[in-house]
Structure 1
Amino acid sequence: MKFPDGGAALLADTLTLAGPRPVRLDGFDVVLVDRSHAREAVARLDAVGVHAVGTVFAHHGYWGFFLPEESGDPTWPAPARYVGAGSTLTLPPAPQPNAAAGWIRWSRGPIYTAPLLLHAVLTDIAIRSHRDDDPASTPPHVRPLEPHAMPSHKIAFFDLDATLTDHRTSFCRWAVEFAARYGITLKEVEDAEVRCAGQRDQFFADLKDTHKIKTSIVSLHAQYRHRAAELVPHRPQVCTAIRSLREDGWRLGVITNGDPSAQRLKLRSARLDGLFETVVISGEYGIRKPDRGLYRIALDALGASSGFMVGDDLGADVAGGSRAGLHTVWVSGGRERSSGSAVPDHTVQTVLDAVEVLREHSDAPLPAAA
């Protein structure tokens, strides 16, 4: 049973259980939380004001939250119980609109609950509960939350595609393989990319129709997401620059649109995984840049109210970052800003130049969060 990105309708179409039975978790994880803590967590996440909680089901005195695959790190605080993909778990009968028995909450949007926000709330609840019982100690595997919404001159978020990673090289590598596989020329693939301006559904529809490719557009797109992510090059200079910022006391995050598994694979391929305190991916939250809510989630994860946003997209990164109260750095790649587009605070050629801007302006006043 594998849930692609989507919403409750996909869950209802996929999950056709007539009664409670063990189901293999495929493509998602689950965290089980005792009822009282789960109720409090849902109430607090709802107060955040973004779509943080997806579909929730009952399980022997616990509530179960669906999470994206590989959400087991960091360790979930007791008494939460993490169940990873590949395990079996008894789920209630097939849900119906407005919830059937066994389904506490029925999401009409993405089925996933935001793992970072849920983890932070459960950690806070666990710390408070433990201190009530024994104020002198802190439970194992639990790190207290950072002070909430504190301004910092050393907070920075980075876009992923074409900012931290070399998107052009990964696309070219993929295009060579794709052209060879389907017996077309590399120029024909590149011409389709220009015609469709990077719109992937249109791009694959164009290639499929023009070259009579039998594979479905959905399959072509899925293959592209995975293989292009594997082909992202490792850029040692970028890794070194990010690591040096961390060593200088910067707290760093990634804010990116896209499919969660593909975006995390890109970070691993580029050897950037482990260098950021938080990675916020639109596919896990049901909102995309430039929506201010996605930036708010990232700021909340670092307990900050201001900082820098570095990205290559004037709309998603610069306009979105500015609306969220972030100081913006546009990685132009040599492009000129078009009339009427968002105005960045700083313009640079590459992400390495952006790192230098961060160093130079680490003590500059930052705008307050909107």
Structure 2
Amino acid sequence: MPQVRICLFDAYGTLFDVHSAVARHAGELGDAHEGVARLWRQRQLEYTWVRSLMGRHADFWTVTGEALDFALASHGLADPALRDRLMKSYSTLTPYPEVRAVLADLRERGLRNAILTNGSPAMIEAALASAGLTALVDDVITVEEVGVYKTDPRVYRHAIEALGVEPDAISFQSSNAWDAAAASDHRFRVVWVNRSGQPPEYRWVTTGVELPDLSGLPDHVAPRG
């Protein structure tokens, strides 16, 4: 197989902690904060899939807001000011602790860092800037360039075309098993970042290497010596 030339990352849940937006406001949410965080993420993903199946695309900011509205309403929380604070926090999600060092290490080893995300361009630009990661990412590819969400095959084909290399020269990292499975189906070299230690899924597709976080990625894709 050819050497890996590009490390392509999912953003939300892989580079950025999607629950950090709620964690910052846990005091305001009280006992509901964990439930709100889980339901917000569940519905956010569900709405992308439903919109894709229906052919009714809206950008990720819109979908994220729709999902938050449902999560808050489900917990009896109707506070427009709190909603606004939570949405603003989603623009500046906290990266996982190892992310900066891993991206820098990959760069030092001669690889390009890229992102393939459901997020809108403005969302991912804000997240990278707030985390101080902009200079460590060479390419950002969003589903807005295709008009449909992962796991639609058009998203992964577009990423291959945009990066200009064969898929087996791309190591694709995602914490979402469904995303890892879809990328594997398009011949990417896949790393499933299983942060939550969940059991394997999608056994009918080869989902590649499993890592507990991104710390071991540089040695996996570009071992020294």
Cα distance between partner residues in 2 of 1:353 and 1:230: 25
For residue 338 of structure 1, report the CA deviation from its aligned partner: 3.9
Judge conservation of contact 1:256–1:282 (CA < 8 Å) in 2: yes
Cα distance between partner residues in 1 of 2:106 and 2:80: 45
Where relative contact order (Cα < 8 A, 6+ residues apart) is larger, the structure is 2
Q: Give the percent of matched residue pairs that are identical in Structure 1 and Structure 2.
A: 22
Q: What's the counterpart of residue 348 of structure 1?
A: 211
In 2 relative to 1, CA 354–214 (structure 1 residues): closer, same or farther, beyond 3 Å? same
For residue 164 of structure 1, report the CA deviation from its aligned partner: 1.6
Q: What's the counterpart of residue 291 of structure 1?
A: 152
Judge conservation of contact 2:193–2:212 (CA < 8 Å) in 1: yes
Match of 1:271 among 132, 141, 149: 132
In 2 relative to 1, CA 226–281 (structure 1 residues): closer, same or farther, beyond 3 Å? farther
The one-letter code of the counterpart of 1:226 is K
What does residue range 272-351 of structure 1 map to in structure 2 within 5 Å? 272-306=133-167, 307-316=170-179, 318-341=180-203, 342-351=205-214
> SS of the residue aligned with 1:157?
strand
The one-letter code of the counterpart of 2:117 is T
Residue 159 in structure 1 maps to residue 10 in structure 2? yes
The one-letter code of the counterpart of 2:142 is I
CA-atom RMSD, angstroms? 2.9
Q: TM-score, normalised by structure 1?
A: 0.47
For residue 293 of structure 1, report the CA deviation from its aligned partner: 2.1
Higher Rg of the two aligned structures: 1
Gaps of 5+ in 1: 1-150, 363-370
Q: TM-score, normalised by structure 2?
A: 0.74
Judge conservation of contact 1:254–1:278 (CA < 8 Å) in 2: yes
The one-letter code of the counterpart of 2:78 is I
Residue 207 in structure 1 maps to residue 72 in structure 2? yes
Cα distance between partner residues in 1 of 2:145 and 2:71: 29
What does residue range 38-187 of structure 1 map to in structure 2 within 5 Å? 153-173=4-24, 175-176=25-26, 180=28, 185-187=29-31
Q: What's the counterpart of residue 33 of structure 2?
A: 189
Judge conservation of contact 2:18–2:41 (CA < 8 Å) in 1: no
What does residue range 215-294 of structure 1 map to in structure 2 within 5 Å? 215=80, 220=83, 224-233=86-95, 235=97, 237-294=98-155
Cα distance between partner residues in 2 of 1:302 and 1:350: 24
In 2 relative to 1, CA 297–314 (structure 1 residues): closer, same or farther, beyond 3 Å? same
Cα distance between partner residues in 2 of 1:233 and 1:315: 21
Q: What's the counterpart of residue 57 of structure 2?
A: none
The one-letter code of the counterpart of 2:139 is T
Cα distance between partner residues in 2 of 1:353 and 1:297: 28
Cα distance between partner residues in 2 of 1:346 and 1:320: 14
Cα distance between partner residues in 1 of 2:210 and 2:77: 43
* Structure with greater helix share of residues: 2
For residue 223 of structure 1, report the CA deviation from its aligned partner: 5.2
Q: What's the counterpart of residue 18 of structure 1?
A: none
Cα distance between partner residues in 1 of 2:106 and 2:150: 24
The one-letter code of the counterpart of 1:277 is D
Judge conservation of contact 1:152–1:305 (CA < 8 Å) in 2: no
> SS of the residue aligned with 1:274?
helix
In 2 relative to 1, CA 172–210 (structure 1 residues): closer, same or farther, beyond 3 Å? closer
Judge conservation of contact 1:331–1:349 (CA < 8 Å) in 2: yes
In 2 relative to 1, CA 211–343 (structure 1 residues): closer, same or farther, beyond 3 Å? same
Moved over 6 A (4+): none
Cα distance between partner residues in 2 of 1:320 and 1:164: 18
